[in-house]
Amino acid sequence: MKHIVVAGGTDGLGRAAALDRLAKGDTVVVIGRNPMRGAEFLAAAEALGGGDRFVLGYEMLDLLAAAPRPLILNVAGPGSGTGQIRWGDLGFAQGYHGLRALSQGGQLNDLLGIEFARRAPAPVRYVLLHPGVVDTGLSGDYDLEMAARVQAMRVGAQSVAQAVRPILDVLNNPPADPLTAIVQGRPLDVRGPAFDSAAAARLFGETTRLLADFGVPSPVGAGES
């Protein structure tokens, strides 16, 4: 039996993966904000009988290190960034543009994964996986332009039932390397230019500084430098 935490597990891909693993007898913790979706998830879980990614990942390091096959699976869009990061305005407070924010968010997500894999103890695996576009709730606070684009993305999108399969494959058979990136079944070279370790270290520093403003202590991971 495995212990699985799904950040964003009350809807979409997280929900489908969580329910599958519950049905197979694993212990699953799901995180979400919407109480109604939470209650619906619990109802679905009962029918079976059965924050933040950054803070969550580092706070679980001890548990991960003690687990037999520890894995963090980050459903994302690895390797798709433009290489340009607004270091002075990571939250896009100035001149917000939905697509650029999405692109930058994808890159930052990759960088956090790179640094996590570098700092985590040896048995921990970190996987960035893009299943392709999936017809889920695609929740978010979108402006009109982004809302139209998100709607357009649904045309030809895969169903949740299809897209969850490669996610479950990775959960069942974690890769051997500390860091793996997969886009629609195709592995990416995580030593390539899209996976810049200097930028990853810089983002770790920026993130811990931001969290310190909210009173969150700096995570202490293996490979601290």
Ligand X SMILES: NC(=O)c1ccc[n+]([C@@H]2O[C@H](COP(=O)([O-])OP(=O)(O)OC[C@H]3O[C@@H](n4cnc5c(N)ncnc54)[C@H](OP(=O)(O)O)[C@@H]3O)[C@@H](O)[C@H]2O)c1
Residues that bind ligand X (CB under 6 A): 8-14, 31-34, 37, 75-77, 130-131, 133-134, 136-139
Q: What are the angstrom distances between the C-alpha of 33 and each of 38, 39, 59, 186, 188? A: 8, 11, 20, 32, 32
d(CA 35, CA 28): 17
Q: How far is CA 16 from the centre of its chain?
A: 15
Q: Closest Cα to residue 80, out of 10, 2, 133? A: 133
Q: Is the distance from CB of 108 to CB of 85 less than 8 angstroms?
A: yes
Q: How far is the CB of 108 from ligand X (least distance, A)?
A: 12
CA distances from 34 to 30, 74, 125, 171 (A): 12, 21, 30, 26
Question: With respect to ligand X, which residue has the nearer C-beta, 158 or 201?
Answer: 158
Residues whose CB is less than 8 angstroms from the CB of residue 194 and which lie 6 or more positions away in sequence, other chains included: 78, 79, 80, 81, 83, 107, 110, 188
Closest CB 214 distance from ligand X, rounded Å:
15
* Minimum CB distance to ligand X, residue 153 (Å): 7
Specify the residue, 133 or 211, whose C-beta has the smaller distance to ligand X.
Answer: 133
- Which residues neighbour 157 within 8 Å (Cβ) at sequence distance 6 or greater? 132, 133, 134, 135
Closer of 113 and 131 to ligand X (Cβ): 131
Minimum Å distance from CB 223 to ligand X? 26
CB of residue 184 vs ligand X: minimum separation in angstroms? 10
- Residue least distant from ligand X (Cβ): 12
- 96-101, long-range: CB < 8 A, 24+ apart: 96/143, 98/142, 98/143, 98/145, 98/146, 98/149, 99/146, 99/149
For ligand X, the closer of residues 161 and 222 by Cβ is 161
**Which CB, 39 or 222, lies closer to ligand X?**
39
Residue (139 or 197) nearer to ligand X, CB:
139
Shortest Å distance, C-beta 110 to ligand X: 12
